[in-house]
A and B are shown apart, each in its own frame.
Chain A
Amino acid sequence: MSPEVAPALRRGWRLQWEPAQQRHVLLYPEGMVQLNESAGAILALVDGRRHEEDIVAELEAQFPGAAEIADDVAAFLAEAGRQGWLEVGP
């Protein structure tokens, strides 16, 4: 995904915290992705306004001392793009 574009969830898709499952889920037509903690933390910051570097900065502030956050975010967003979870194009 292009770093110039602030990533956004695909239109009509929704991220939600599910108390019954104790995790974030990504909801889409007739389906659901159950997210692990780091995926949930990254996607919770994907809002079409924050750029990738903003997401990294916020996570570094949330989890001081965590290693390789920038690499994790880049890899996750690339995978999320491949999976079709993110809006395509600007």
Chain B
Amino acid sequence: MSHAASPQAIDPPLWLLAELTYRCPLQCPYCSNPLDFARYRDELDTDAWIDVLRQARAMGAVQLGFSGGEPLVRRDLEVLVAEARRLGFYTNLITSGVGLDGTRIEALREAGLDHIQISLQAADDELAAAVAGSAKAHAAKLAMARAVKAAGYPMVLNVVLHRHNIDDTDRLIALCDELGADAVELASCQYYGWAKLNRAGLLPSRAQVERAEAVTQRWRERLAERGREMRLLFVVPDYFAERPKACMGGWGAIFLTVAPDGSVLPCHSARELPMAFPHVRDGSLEEIWYASEAFNRFRGDAWMPEPCGSCSERHQDHGGCRCQAFLLTGDPAAADPVCRKSPRRELIDRAVAEAAESAGDIAALVPRQARHSRTFWRG
């Protein structure tokens, strides 16, 4: 079977996600890093990252996310930001805020960093500590958010929503407003990696989601009345949707992720799939993007089995998410079971029912720690 699409049909990547490291001082139980992150201890060095940046920019990538793990643990972050900015990337730092201080904020600004996104776990210290496993992180994040705004950056605040904090949506938005956010992403937990492992203890109820969405809508109206420009993005968990999301805008369509060890992926979750991905050593990013087996595997629609293959919506949602299809059905080419047309939709409905039954003790969640990660692989 040939998966090669004609080169003319493949657009260049617009987004590069540079996952600089899997190291992180926090241990959120919904982390999107792979369960076996602890096995990837080798990280690309500064020169290798600079080469990645140059290649991706030459191909046409223009939005760049420095992510992780916690990208601030890389001492060469400022060097990489400076090179990225010089190349013409719009540079986004996606951080927990832990490890940031006034000196680094200034150094990053001098390097030309365009934007800082800080994640918050909760509206208060106690819940934030229970989620992130750090008693001091929340207060540090609030201080850094203020410092980021004071330094003149645009700031997006990101809150991953789950059953333990979603009822605090009103307080969360109020906090973001007070911190001066330019935008807030109320991002429902996506059930990959650690979040999939902890799904029964994280998934909110439909009633919780509906209440939080209504609260968000009221805030939008109030902000508009005040003339306050703070975009509110509310991402509904796709388990409560009828159709799958157009994941990553399509496989190998817009996004290019380079993982800490140099693996090249169509998204940061893809290494959970039972397939091999190229490494930056294996060839140029251009060869990998346009010609590799992995990047062509789910492009177009020739790979789609039914019900996707003949579906009138197949070019809107691209069959949904390959990782979700694999994690839930065992088949990476299956229709995303979120879809009502999927013969496996019962997997989603059952997960929602199971979560409703689960006691929901936050202490029962498995924290994202290297010692737990090591139980997911044996080298």
Contact = CB atoms under 8 A, between A and B. Distances in A.
Chain A bound to chain B: yes
Given A14-B90, A30-B92, A25 B229 contact: no
Contacts of B331: none
Interface in B179-236: 182-183, 227, 229, 231
9 closest cross-chain pairs (CB), A and B: A20-B60, A12-B154, A27-B90, A29-B115, A29-B156, A29-B154, A84-B229, A30-B92, A20-B12
17 contacts: A12-B114, A12-B115, A14-B114, A16-B88, A16-B90, A18-B60, A20-B12, A20-B59, A20-B60, A21-B60, A27-B114, A28-B115, A29-B115, A30-B63, A30-B115, A30-B117, A31-B63
A11 B114 CA distance: 10
Contact of B62 (A11, A12, A18): A18
Q: Specify the main secondary structure of chain A where it touches its partner.
A: loop
Contacts of B155: 29
A32 interface: yes
A16 B153 contact: no
B356 interface: no
A88 to B, nearest CB: 6
Contact of B152 (A10, A11, A25): A11
Contact of B231 (A12, A14, A84): A84
A88 B92 contact: no
A81 to B, nearest CB: 10
Given A21-B60, A84-B229, A30 B88 contact: no
Contacts of B63: 27, 30-32
A76 interface: no
Contacts of A18: 60, 62
A11 B154 contact: yes
Contacts of B129: none
Q: Which of A20, A21, A30, A31 is the most central at the interface, judged by chain B CB atoms within 10 Å of its CB?
A: A30
Interface residues of A, number: 19
A13 B154 contact: yes
Interface of A: 10-14, 16, 18-21, 25, 27-32, 84, 88
Nearest to B156: A29
Contacts of B88: 16
B127 interface: no
* Central interface residue in B59, B88, B155, B227, by most chain A CB within 10 Å: B88
A10 B231 CA distance: 14
Interface in B70-105: 88, 90, 92
B229 A29 contact: no
A29 B62 contact: no
A19 to B, nearest CB: 8
B88 to A, nearest CB: 7
A69 B117 CA distance: 38
Contacts of B304: none
A20 B227 CA distance: 37
Nearest to B114: A12
Contacts of A88: 227, 229
A32 B62 contact: yes
Interface string B231-244: 10000000000000
B364 to A, nearest CB: 33
Nearest to B90: A27
B62 A25 contact: yes
Contacts of A16: 62, 88, 90
Contacts of B60: 18-21
A16 B12 CA distance: 17
A46 to B, nearest CB: 17
Nearest to A34: B14
A21 to B, nearest CB: 7
Interface string B103-127: 0000000000011010000000000
Interface string B158-196: 000000000000000000000000110000000000000
Given A14-B114, A18-B60, A18-B62, A28 B154 contact: yes
Nearest to A87: B229
Interface string B17-54: 00000000000000000000000000000000000000
